Amino acid sequence: MAFANTEQAEFWSQIAPMWIELQDRMEETGGLPGRLAMDRLDLRAGQRVVDLGCGAGRTTLELASRVLPGGEAVGVDISAEMLAAGRERAAQLGAGNVEFAHADVQVSDLGQARFDAAYSRFGVMFFADPVAAFANVRRALRPGAVLSFVCWQGLFDNEWMLIPAAAVSSTARVRSGSASENGPGSPGPGIGGIEPVTVATAAAGISIHSLSKRPCQQTKDSTAPGRRARRTLANAATGSAKNITPKRE
């Protein structure tokens, strides 16, 4: 079946080499929240679990180890390059209960009532049609199955991303509205963060039992640079920064 999110597929395939190279450093930011979400699944031996937007498969391998003996983990990703890295690592580790599938979570057939659990670490924020995507995930889950994921909040709630974005927008020409579009790669891309994701899961018939909207430390104690960055990007989004020209050194 053709993919619906072709722009995302191109984007992630392009950045895959960099992503794979920086995996260890990415673990420093994504590792802990990812583990907390995974623990919530309370996986048991023999279960089948799907990893949505699995990237280079680190979490898929961890899921696979948690369902031994007898269980299996399937990592699904739209980027063939990311999956190739996952397959290589699985082979190195001799993990026999892992499969990697090149698929678009939104439209590809993930199976019918195939999984006991679904998981994602920052892989459910990129769908052009999030309700269709979560409805597709739901079809692949057996009744009573659990979905647990971790997802960024919107750009304005993530100072680690907001401050660099504002710095760039204040020195380079800014397209009107670009700060609010949340293009590929920004926190909460495409559908703007955790709120739309949870709305979409509910609309797709997945009940939400618990939601922790824990802000990152800098957001909680908003810093002066963070407040300035918010103003800069808010201006850019409303068009008042439309004509900023690149600064000359």
Residue 105 as a binder of ligand SAM (CB under 6 A): the answer is yes
Interface pick for ligand SAM out of 30, 71, 187, 188 (rule CB under 6 A): 30
Interface pick for ligand SAM out of 82, 98, 204, 233 (rule CB under 6 A): 82
CA distance 19 to 231: 30
- Which of these, 83, 78, 80, 75, lies nearest to 5 by C-alpha position? 78
Interface pick for ligand SAM out of 123, 192, 196, 226 (rule CB under 6 A): 123
Residue 121 as a binder of ligand SAM (CB under 6 A): the answer is yes
Tell me the closest approach of the beta carbon of residue 123 to ligand SAM, in angstroms.
4
Residue 78 as a binder of ligand SAM (CB under 6 A): the answer is yes
Residue 59 as a binder of ligand SAM (CB under 6 A): the answer is yes
The stretch among 70-78, 86-94, 223-231, 240-248 that binds ligand SAM (CB under 6 A) is 70-78
Total of residues contacting ligand SAM (CB under 6 A): 21
Measured from the CB atom, the residue of 74 and 241 that comes closer to ligand SAM is 74
Q: Which two tokens stand for residue 107?
A: 């439209």
Q: Which two tokens stand for residue 72?
A: 């299996």
Residue 158 as a binder of ligand SAM (CB under 6 A): the answer is no
Interface pick for ligand SAM out of 115, 126, 149, 156 (rule CB under 6 A): 126
Tell me the closest approach of the beta carbon of residue 11 to ligand SAM, in angstroms.
8
CA distance 228 to 156: 11
Residue 77 as a binder of ligand SAM (CB under 6 A): the answer is yes
Tell me the closest approach of the beta carbon of residue 67 to ligand SAM, in angstroms.
18
Tell me the closest approach of the beta carbon of residue 226 to ligand SAM, in angstroms.
22
Amino acid at 53: G
Question: What is the sign of the dihedral through the CA atoms of 36, 136, 12 and 92?
Answer: positive
Question: What is the sign of the dihedral through the CA atoms of 56, 62, 68 and 74?
Answer: negative
CA distance 136 to 220: 35
Residue bearing tokens 């808010």: 234
Tell me the closest approach of the beta carbon of residue 132 to ligand SAM, in angstroms.
10
CA distance 164 to 22: 19
Interface pick for ligand SAM out of 100, 115, 119, 122 (rule CB under 6 A): 122
Helices and strands counted in the chain (H then E): 10, 5
Interface pick for ligand SAM out of 20, 38, 41, 54 (rule CB under 6 A): 54
- What b/e readout covers 144-178, taking b as 16+ CB neighbours within 10 angstroms? ebbbbbbbbbbbbbbbebbbebbeebbeeebeeeb
CA distance 60 to 53: 10
Q: In the complex, which residues of this chain contact ligand SAM (CB under 6 A)?
A: 5, 8, 12, 30, 53-55, 59, 76-79, 82, 104-106, 121-123, 126-127
